[in-house]
Structure 1
Amino acid sequence: MKKVLLTTLFAVFALGAFAQSDSYFGEKISDKGAVAATELPKKMGSKEKMTAKVTGTVESVCQAKGCWMKVKTTDGQTMRVSFKDYGFFVPKDIAGKTVVIDGEAKMKTTSVAELQHYAEDAGKSKEEIAKITEPKRELTFVADGVIVKK
């Protein structure tokens, strides 16, 4: 009887250890009320910035440290997501995963130097980096918290 009980307990704990769950980074947030990243540009309209909770698919992540990620929005576009006060990072292997981010979306003109830095972080070649010669007006997001869905 003891062997059956111990075996059962061991199996339950082993399954629990291997069960995947959502991963949280930064502030602990929930996914309640999140809008699709594809809807965010429309929701922003002509606003320069707004508080938002968004869910979307990660296209790429900074391969240096996980200090930013790109989330797919509309028409093949992406939104660069950075993390509040450089206070946390995300795993570098989450491309293709669904995330929920909570924070502030804003329109920003990104300088050539910053765009080149991001390209370097993404592992682009020197030739690709050299082709970046114009600043870019783009949708960005500063996340207070991130959920990486299982």
Structure 2
Amino acid sequence: MKKNLCLLLAIALLQGCNQKQPIAEEGTIEQAANTSTTYGAAFEEENVIPASELVKAVADKDSLQATVAAEIKESCQAKGCWMDVKLADSSNMKVTFRDYGFFVPLENLEGRQVVFTGTAKREVISVEDQRHYAKDAGKSEAEIAAITAPKEELRFIADGIILK
């Protein structure tokens, strides 16, 4: 009896493994869904504003809750703990991840599209922090030493991102 039961179980298992999976045709929704990866909190891509409009949207506010679409210019090569995205005026905005709760891949993400949600705000960035980010980005010692003054810039603390 045990032999028959084991044999039936083995046949059922092998039959299940032999099932063909449907292949998504090129350009289908299934394939598009597989090209994006979410890091951090999951969110819906609703009311998304382009990074080019974010500067105007936050101009008269201390901070702004937003979901933003942008192109990655550079990312942290040490841990994956930040990324710079392009703004309208060819400047960058540093995107960090709330409470270091998640990280992006260490691969070169330059040129990839990303959607992120969280809080935008203006901050004064110390020389020490600027040098830290420059080191994480793999900048030369000369480039790091050239950072000598704090600067104010638009920053974003992301709760979640979708990497396209």
With the shorter chain as reference, the TM-score category is 0.7 to 0.9
Larger radius of gyration: 2
Is it true that 1:67 corresponds to 2:81 in the alignment? yes
Is it true that 1:12 corresponds to 2:26 in the alignment? no
- CA drift at 1:91: 1.2
Q: Which of these residues, 116, 121, 134, is aligned with residue 106 of structure 1?
A: 121
Which secondary structure state, in structure 2, belongs to the residue aligned with residue 12 of structure 1?
Answer: coil
Is it true that 1:127 corresponds to 2:127 in the alignment? no
Q: Can you give the 5+ residue segments of structure 1 that lack an aligned partner in the other structure? A: 1-5
Is it true that 1:88 corresponds to 2:102 in the alignment? yes
Instruction: Give the structure-1-normalised TM-score.
Output: 0.87
Q: Can you give the 5+ residue segments of structure 2 that lack an aligned partner in the other structure? A: 1-16
Identity among equivalent pairs (%): 43
Aligned residues: 141
Aligned to 1:37: 51
In structure 2, distance between residues paired with 1:41 and 1:11: 45
Aligned to 2:154: 139
1:30–1:111 CA distance, 2 compared to 1 (3 A): same
Q: Which of these residues, 68, 79, 85, is aligned with residue 54 of structure 1?
A: 68
Which secondary structure state, in structure 2, belongs to the residue aligned with residue 21 of structure 1?
Answer: coil
Q: Deviations over 1:48-91 (max 9, x none)?
A: 21111100000000000110000101211010000011010011
In structure 2, distance between residues paired with 1:47 and 1:12: 49
Instruction: Give the structure-2-normalised TM-score.
Output: 0.80
In structure 1, distance between residues paired with 2:49 and 2:67: 6
Q: CA RMSD in A?
A: 2.1
Structure 1 residue runs of 4 or more that deviate by more than 6 Å after TM superposition: none
